[in-house]
Amino acid sequence: MLDIDDPSQIALSDRQGWLARAARINGRWAEAIAGGQLAAQGLPDPAGAAVIWLVLPIPLAGIGGAVQAASAHLPGPRVICWQPTLATLPVQGIWLDPYALMDATQPQRLMIPSPPAPESHPTTLFLFLLAILDTWLGRTLAEDAIKLSAACIDELASSTASVPLAENPAKQIAYRLHERLPLFWAEEPLTGIAYDWWQRYTLYAEAKAEWSTAAPIRQVTATARFPRYWLQAGTFVRLAQNAEEGPPWLNALDRLFHRRKLQGMTVAAQEERLPAALLYLLEIGEWVAIYAAALLGVDPAERVALDFLDAFVAPPSPSSSSMT
């Protein structure tokens, strides 16, 4: 296990400079919002549309869920991260397709110029998409999201690589999860955040993890009697807007898990406003995934297994085709 308080050791597993990217909060946020506002210029009037289908690649499904959650309580077209089973409903809608994933002949399909790369920081993607919708639909979600409380700003500042483990909340979470099997879960409207944490943790650290929504945790997982190895291997990680709030069954679930000696923890934003809570949890989740990778000596920017698989599905180059 690497020493994540040693900058020289961390640098060995961060050759693309993702720690520096994560630390550049104000610049990233401002650039993402400005980029989204610019990208929205020229979009047609969405009047009459009941739904805006946000079409994103699978690695950005959690980001799409966060955008959907932030937009859910506002009037006007409902923003839904594309779900094929729902998209077949006879509902008049517009397809917002930033990454050109759909058939070009699809009616009501709108492109977005120069979206951030899917590998961009999660809050860059989140704020970019919110800013497009804000400019297009007359909302202020992106500006609301970046108005984090002083306590959250301090926590993000304390998560940078120069802050030692004893004072660094993100390093502490990564250290607690090291060599364990985390199960990230959340209640609505934070299920997209749980998905994003699971995905980044797995991709960055190449470490096994799981994710879930609240209903299966309550109605299925709670009935399970775990094998003995889980006591040494598993950790339930609940993501929340406020640690003190939750449904009535949550305390009972905590008591049940405690009685069975199952490890768990809650990571809470402590933000009253949902957009700010979503932004904070995406920020802290990126830090945790990067530190998890550092502890294992893995470069979070590498995708060795995916590159290997892609080599088998990529079309053959002309030079590699046989002559007949």
> Could you give the 3-state DSSP secondary structure of residue 218?
helix
More confident: 174 or 228: 174
Q: What is the pLDDT of residues 159-216, one digit of tens each?
A: 999 999 999 999 999 999 999 999 999 999 999 999 999 999 999 999 999 999 999 9
> What is the largest distance, in Å, between two alpha-carbon atoms of the chain?
71
Confidence of residue 239 (pLDDT cuts 50, 70, 90): very high
Candidates 3.30.56.10, 3.40.50.300, 3.40.50.10490, 3.50.50.60; correct CATH number of 7-14+149-302?
3.40.50.10490
Of 46-60, 122-136, 197-211, the one with minimum mean pLDDT is 46-60
- Cα dihedral value 13, 19, 21, 22, nearest 10: 140
Tell me which range, 38-52, 61-75, 257-271, 304-318, is most confidently predicted by mean pLDDT.
61-75
Q: 10 Å Cβ neighbour count for 125?
A: 28
- State the Cα–Cα distance between residues 117 and 16, nearest whole angstrom: 15
Q: Name which of 173, 178, 225, 167 is nearest 205 in CA terms.
A: 178
For 114, half-sphere exposure in the C-beta direction (CA atoms, 13 angstrom radius) is 8
142: left (phi over 0), alpha (psi -120 to 50) or beta: alpha
Q: Residue 42: what residue type?
A: G
Sheet with strand 109-110: strands edge to edge: 78-81, 51-54, 93-96, 109-110
- State the Cα–Cα distance between residues 95 and 86, nearest whole angstrom: 13
Q: What is the pLDDT of residues 84-106, one digit of tens each?
A: 666 677 777 888 999 988 877 67
- State the Cα–Cα distance between residues 192 and 61, nearest whole angstrom: 7
Q: What is the DSSP string of 141-154?
A: HHHHHT---HHHHH
Q: Domain residue spans in the chain?
A: 7-14+149-302, 18-145
